[in-house]
Chain A
Amino acid sequence: AARMFLRLLSDIQWRAAHPKWRRMTSSHRSTSTTAEPHPVSLPAQAQVVICGGGIMGTSVAYHLSKMGWKDIVLVEQGRLAAGTTRFCAGIVSTARPVSIELKMAHYSNQLYQQLEQETGVQTGYMKTGSISLAQTQDRLISLKRIASSLNVMGIPCEIISPKKVVQLHPLINIHDLVGALYVPEDALVSSANVSLALATAASRNGVQIHERTSVSHVTVQKGRVTGVETDRGRIQCEYFVNCAGQWAYELGHSGEEPVHIPLHACEHFYLLTHPLKEPLSNNLPTIVDPDGRIYIRNWQGGILSGGFEKNPKPLFTEGRNQLEIQNLQEDWDHFGPLLSALLRRMPGLEALQIMQLVNCPESFTPDMRCVMGESPTARGYFVLAGMNSAGISYGGGAGKYLAEWMVNGYPSENVWPLDLKRFGTLQSSRTFLRHRVMEVMPLICDLKVPRWDFQTGRQLRTSPLYDRLDAQGARWMEKHGFERVKYFVPPGKDLLDLDHSKTFYKPDWFDIVGSEVKCCKEAVCVIDMSSFTKFEISSTGDQALESLQYLFSNDLDVPVGHVVHTGMLNEKGGYENDCSIARLSKRSFFMISPTDQQVHCWAWLKNRLPDDSNLIMEDVTWKYTALNLIGPRAVDVLSELSYAPMTAEHFPSLFCKEMSVGYANGIRVMSITHTGEPGFVLYIPIEYALHVYNEVMNMGQKYGIRNAGYYALRSLRIEKFFAFWGQDLDAFTTPMECGREFQVKLEKGMQFLGQEALLEQKQNGVYKRFTMFILEDHDTDMDLWPWWGEPIFRNGRYVGKTTSSAYSYTLERHVCLGFVHHFDEKTGEELVVTTDFINQGEYEIDIAGQRFQAKAKLYPFSSLFTQRRRKDELELSGYQRE
């Protein structure tokens, strides 16, 4: 294959081996140095420069060139497919828990299957299937959940018994297994050859490939990429794609304006053996044994087996380091536990002879999802890296989404879970990354249960009340580096330790959250919501209003002191953000968005607001502590503290006023709670935070005040059918699809972003509808709990997936929210979803293969709004993700 590739890309320069990579690549490919053609000089300019000739770079080049972009240069510091790509195990596995990752893997599999035919380059593609083993019932549940997802995507899969496992793979010891997931269409490839095939096809489409060329830095002017400096000269370009794998972080930091790409390398080991006496067949399925932390595939008649140990060895913390590269050696003592797991799984392999223990660094990200998308600070700077050891599985799909993103301005799927902008500079500390990836790598094999929180890299951003709340029993979770309270453990009560609280069933905090919810309903609770993103936008003239009117879908020209719930929509009418905006004065606005919008929303607005020095946008997130007072008695607490009447007549819903609370002046009080319950959010300048909190707690005592956390908030908002951005809403959902037409100024004759798409939907109807489901025959104590991503069935046919769920303590039922589609029974084509279509169906929700009857509703239970403050002004919003 290598020789053929040489012929196809005869313009590639082959010089003497780059010393840095010689060691890593060893002598797998023998290219005589004397016969190398002369180097071709780099072009002076190109539309796109891609850095990195691994699976990611070649996949992006392949897809861009397929989509019609031709003026592309791919530069690789060593040789194509030489880094991690050369060494990775070549397993294409679609058994992924995250839906978007599953889609990428599925597409990759389809792409690789036909690649050899398309390019003539042998890819070693072999459809072997994969078997994921479960040693425990909990593991089996997680596999069943994946099976549910695969099923509705039309990917064949089956939960099989241990006996069936032996039939599929005779070497496996099954005595400790409870079941397994079999995915017959999963495949094996030679990853380097896949990458070469993609490069070949791209090169045929006109992509220029230059090896032995390393990028020193990327130049950016006025927030746009202008070119790339390499060791062989400069290339002017409009777009730069950083596919530098584990070096992507360093490359991102090499320019004047750093692009933060949070990833960190860890050593990764796998074992190669000589062939068995009776060589293993090359179509034997790949075995994944997550409880043993290992994977095993057939390899040239023997096996290839690696894993994800509990004690990973991070490296290159201080950047590329020659010494560390040289020290990348076999470490048998480190591999010991994985070898034990292998021999336990396949005892018959004892006599098999070792060929090599390969040490191949992989890059990992802070949340185990890859990093994709455009830099928030440099337009035209795209990134695709941080594959968490699944580069081959994701390579095809990820390359495709990124190419679409560059060509069309947006990918064809919601990739927010992978978007670079979900991170900020704060995840870019090397210490943070080093600590976090040591947690992430083992997590690849750990059981993924609902509501998992990372334990490392914590307590970075905290509210000034952190210590106070912590002392009162707060249990914390983290969002965008910010510590938020989940719930408060009452004194004297102890919860299970971390490991034991992992469950797919009713969690141990059930009653604790229940009592917090009850207090919100009957008295008053305080929730610290300081993590929310807060921007102030102001101007000297009307610029602020005019610009915002175009960028936001709801009418912001309201009287001063009013709060407006509005979407920030894209051209397709989809939610880029969902926020509350208070009009502070004629010319200034205060905007509250979800916590993880800090980077995305900033970049979105920065790129679209006019370049006007009289129009100022400021991120004031850190300036305010937010206390959410939820409950019927919030009015009493606040009016006693401020000596101001707070009743609905004086302070109607969706109002904002600066007032004094206790001794502190200038507190922004807004009559919203993000839950539909009555109450207020107090935006307090941070130096007053402790004072105001103390005052509120003291005064609140007689009204039964207590602390509450986000779990209570979530239960309240979901039972009221409030959609949250990032969980339920994304760039592919419009206000029309979730019953929020009333938050859109379609009738006012004003131009705004996304208007056309919404008008079309208004005319022609929507193709999916946000719906609330009440589980009917679900036993909270005994049955598996829904989480999100559960398939929804209407009259026995798949119509969509849930996006969030919670137990409603008021309804005493589980509530799931999700989108219902209407697929044509014969063609599968998407049809318009009407109210009748929703109402006339019998619904079931599939939780790990078990279906529960559900009642669908398009409107919330009005009975839940007992203390409605004003009939016509239902507060319908809320948006933070859990």
Chain B
Amino acid sequence: FYLTPPQVNSILKANEYSFKVPEFDGKNVSSVLGFDSNQLPANAPIEDRRSAATCLQTRGMLLGVFDGHAGCACAQAVSERLFYYIAVSLLPHETLLEIENAVESGRALLPILQWHKHPNDYFSKEASKLYFNSLRTYWQELIDLNSGETTDVREALINAFKRLDNDISLEAQVGDPNSFLNYLVLRVAFSGATACVAHVDGVDLHIANTGDSRAMLGVQEEDGSWSAVNLSYDHNAQNEHEVERVKMEHPKSEEKSLVKQDRLLGLLMPFRAFGDVKFKWSIDLQKRVIESGPDQLNDNEYTKFIPPNYHTPPYLTAEPEVIHHKLRPQDKFLVLATDGLWETMHRQDVARIVGEYLTGVHHQQPIAVGGYKVTLGQMHGLLTERRARISSVFEDQNAATHLIRHAVGNNEFGTVDHERLSKMLSLPEELARMYRDDITIIVVQFNSHVIGAYQNEE
């Protein structure tokens, strides 16, 4: 079984999406030029989600990747809801009041977000009312709390993450008279999702990360080469600080059982996540909810199963770690990706491949004959090989697609091997997950001119 190059391309490009920040008066005044995103499923259905939106009542752009586990319900809910929570957290008091008054009097609402969605990125219609009510409760509380202080982005991000996770938990505990919704909120709460979200406003880049997706900055050095700067820490067993944190939060008696086989309680890979109430609720609460829940939930062995050595919940949090970075002109792009990418590629390679893709061919290290003895034939061979490498760049109009092509198709020499690509993409569903994970990538390209101008102003 063999896929032709066009077939390979149609698989790779099925979920690709690009957004260019519109120019105003011939100029792009935003520090973001645009972004490319794409997903390649390994699970059926895919458990990764992605979101991108522009904040309309505040400045800034939000982008995020979400890696679901134990189903896609939680990742789906987070991808729909999280940005609203963040946007609301960022809103000034007056705007919140205005919005609340509009809802109160049934007037048209100020739009909060402008979404940039691929047609496959759906929103749940059934749950929108429920989600909206939870969100409204949140902003009503914010209005009551009115601290009078200007909103700090870091605070806003942390609050939004925590609040959404809390709402997911509450909604599952309260339930819903509509049986479909009731089942939905339970599925959301019992599945889990990591989130890696970027907020870009001018030169201020905030990364809020929960779990093991990763944000990486592509930096062009003065000599034109590319280097990678991590803007998030993985929350998993490889992160000593994280292991330390978990241990601090629980009695010494549990130290041995907390992390087993590099997993939380021997079960969960990410150490922070949305949902996953099995790691957050008390045993009593879990039992009560499952018993009163619909039959489907009762039949599910996974949900009924209580983690071993489960003594002092919660073991898991959705609180993100926030990193702030001031963008510099040499910061050319940001890659947000789920662990499916980072498992297969080193960040340094990611930086180089995206960097070369975005800047085009010319930044490929030029060949100079200099004093070497090179024959015409040798040079010809070299150039032919370089052209082949470049042509894989030209096949893609999307940096994320290009990265996926490399992630899946790279051979030992670091070049895309069509045969390998074809094999990996034609794996049957049940085998695919063994060879690769879902991959979701967003590549945000920065506008160095604008960033440079910001810098000069300061």
Q: Flag the segment in A345-353, A462-470, A564-572 that touches B.
A: A345-353
Partner of B387, one of A336, A343, A349, A350: A336
Question: Closest approach, in angstroms, between the C-beta of B382 and any C-beta of chain A?
Answer: 8
Tell me if B252 is interfacial: C-beta within 8 Å of chain A. Answer: no
Contacts of B374 in A (CB 8 A): 353-354
* Contact indicator B386/A339 (Cβ below 8 Å): no
B384 on the A face (CB < 8 A):
yes
- CB neighbours of A350 from chain B (8 A): 375-377, 380
Residue B383 is within 8 A (CB to CB) of chain A in the complex: yes
Known contacts being A332-B367, A332-B379, A343-B380, is A353 close to B387, with CB within 8 Å? no
Proximity string of chain B (362-387) to chain A, C-beta cutoff 8 Å, 1 when within and 0 when not: 00101111000111110110111011
Which residues of the partner chain B approach A335 to less than 8 Å between Cβ atoms? 383
Minimum CB–CB distance from A505 to chain B (whole Å) comes to 36
Asked whether, in the complex, the Cβ of A333 is within 8 Å of the Cβ of B380, the reply is no
Residues of A within 8 A of B364 (CB): 333
User: Chain A residues with Cβ under 8 A from B366's Cβ?
Assistant: 329-333
Contact A332 B375 (CB under 8 A): no
Do the beta carbons of A336 and B369 come within 8 Å of each other? no
Contact: A333 with B375, CB < 8 Å?
no
Q: Do A336 and B376 touch (CB < 8 A)?
A: no
Which of B369, B373, B376, B383 sits near A333, CB closer than 8 Å?
B383
Docked CA distance A333–B374 (Å): 15
Q: Determine whether the beta carbon of B375 is less than 8 Å from that of A336.
A: no
Please tell me if the beta carbons of A343 and B369 are within 8 angstroms of each other in the complex: no
Binding site for B on A (CB under 8 A): 271, 273, 329-333, 335-336, 339-340, 342-343, 349-354, 356-357
Q: Please, which residues of chain B bring their CB within 8 A of the CB of A336?
A: 380, 383-384, 386-387
**CA–CA, A331 and B369, complex, Å:** 10
B369 touches A330 (CB 8 A): yes
Residues from chain B with Cβ under 8 Å of A330 in the complex: 366-369
Query: Distance in Å from the Cβ of A454 to the closest Cβ of chain B?
Result: 27
Pick the contact of B361 from A273, A333, A353 — CB < 8 Å? Answer: A333
Q: How far does the Cβ of B357 sit from chain A's closest Cβ, in whole Å? A: 16
User: In the complex, what's the smallest C-beta–C-beta distance from B259 to chain A, in angstroms?
Assistant: 51
Give per-residue flags for B104-146: 1 if the beta carbon is below 8 A from chain A beta carbons, else 0. 0000000000000000000000000000000000000000000
CA distance A400 to B376 in the complex (A): 41
Chain B residue numbers with a CB within 8 Å of A332 are 366-367, 369, 379, 382-383
In angstroms, how far is the closest chain B Cβ from the Cβ of A11? 40
Chain A residues with CB under 8 Å of B379's CB are 332, 339, 354
Nearest CB of A to B340, in Å: 33
Say yes or no: B380 contacts A339, CB within 8 Å: yes
Instruction: Check B383 against A343 for contact (C-beta < 8 Å).
Output: no
Residues of A contacting B375 in the complex (Cβ-Cβ under 8 angstroms):
350-354
- Shortest CB distance B236–A (Å): 42
Interfacial chain B residues near A352, Cβ < 8 Å: 375-376
Inter-chain contact A353/B373, CB cutoff 8 Å = yes
Q: B206: shortest Cβ distance to chain A, in Å?
A: 37
* Shortest distance from the beta carbon of B40 to any chain A beta carbon, whole Å: 30
Cα of A356 to Cα of B374 in the assembled complex, Å: 10
Q: A343 and B386: CB pair below 8 A?
A: no
Pairwise interchain contact B377-A333, C-beta atoms closer than 8 A: no
B interface, size bucket: 10 to 19
Q: Knowing A333-B361, A354-B374, A354-B375 are in contact, say whether A340-B368 is a contact too (CB < 8 A).
A: no
Q: Which residue of B lies closest to A339 (CB)?
A: B380
Which single residue of chain A is at the shortest CB-CB distance from B364? A333
Which residues of the partner chain A approach B361 to less than 8 Å between Cβ atoms?
Answer: 333
Q: B interface vs A, CB < 8 Å?
A: 361, 364, 366-369, 373-377, 379-380, 382-384, 386-387, 390
Q: In the A-B complex, list the 3 residue pairs whose CB atoms are closest, starting with the nearest.
A: A350-B377, A336-B383, A332-B367
A595 to chain B, nearest CB (A): 33
Please give, as numbers and ranges, the residues of chain B lying within 8 Å of A351 by CB-CB distance: 375-377
Residue of B at shortest CB range from A352? Answer: B376
CB distance from A799 to the nearest CB of B (A): 50
Chain B residue with minimal CB distance to A355?
Answer: B369
Are A354 and B376 in contact, CB atoms less than 8 angstroms apart?
yes
A330 and B379 alpha carbons, distance in the complex (Å): 13
Contacts of B376 in A (CB 8 A): 271, 273, 339, 342-343, 349-354
Pairs A–B under 8 Å by Cβ, sample size 28: A271-B376, A329-B368, A330-B367, A330-B368, A332-B367, A332-B382, A332-B383, A333-B361, A333-B364, A333-B366, A333-B386, A333-B387, A336-B384, A339-B376, A339-B379, A339-B380, A339-B383, A340-B380, A340-B384, A342-B376, A343-B376, A343-B377, A343-B380, A349-B376, A350-B380, A352-B375, A354-B376, A357-B369
Residues on A with C-beta less than 8 A from B387 are 333, 336
Give the residues in chain B near A343, CB-CB below 8 Å.
376-377, 380
Which of A342, A352, A353 gathers most chain B CB within 10 Å?
A: A353
Which residue of chain B has its CB nearest to the CB of A349? B376
Q: How far is the CB of B58 from chain A (nearest CB, A)?
A: 40
Partner of B367, one of A273, A333, A342, A349: A333
Residues of A within 8 A of B373 (CB): 353
**Distance from B376 Cβ to chain A, minimum over Cβ atoms (Å):** 5
A350 CA / B374 CA spacing, docked (Å): 10
Contact residues in B for A273 (Cβ distance below 8 Å): 376
The listed residue with most B CB atoms (<10 A of its CB), out of A329, A333, A343, A350, is: A333
Q: Inside 8 A of A357's CB, which chain B residues have their CB?
A: 369
Residues in B whose Cβ lies below 8 Å from that of A333: 361, 364, 366-367, 383, 386-387, 390
- Chain B residues, CB < 8 A from A342: 376
Contacts of A339 in B (CB 8 A): 376, 379-380, 383
A350 to B384 alpha-carbon distance, docked (Å): 14
B364 CB to nearest chain A CB (Å): 7
User: CA A332 – CA B376 in complex, angstroms?
Assistant: 11
Q: How far is the CB of A599 from chain B (nearest CB, A)?
A: 33
Nearest CB on B from A344, distance (A): 10
Q: How far is the CA of A339 from the CA of B375 in the complex (A)?
A: 11
Contacts of A329 in B (CB 8 A): 366, 368
Distance (whole angstroms) from the CB of B405 to the closest CB of chain A: 21
A357 to B377, CA, bound (A): 15
A471 smallest CB distance to B (angstroms): 29
Bound-complex Cα distance A340 to B379 (A) = 10
- Give the Cβ gap from B387 to chain A, nearest Cβ, in Å: 6
Pick the contact of A356: B367, B369, B382, B384 (CB < 8 A). B369
User: How far in angstroms is the closest Cβ of chain B from A432?
Assistant: 19
Q: Which residue of A lies closest to B368 (CB)?
A: A330
Instruction: Give every chain A residue within 8 A of B368 (Cβ-Cβ).
Output: 329-330
Cα(A331)–Cα(B361), bound, Å: 12
Given contacts A330-B367, A332-B367, A350-B375, 13 further A-B contacts (CB under 8 A): A271-B376, A330-B366, A332-B383, A336-B386, A339-B380, A343-B380, A350-B377, A351-B376, A351-B377, A352-B375, A353-B374, A354-B369, A354-B376
A507 to chain B, nearest CB (A): 35
Chain B residues near A271: list those with CB within 8 A.
376
Q: Which residue of B lies closest to A342 (CB)?
A: B376
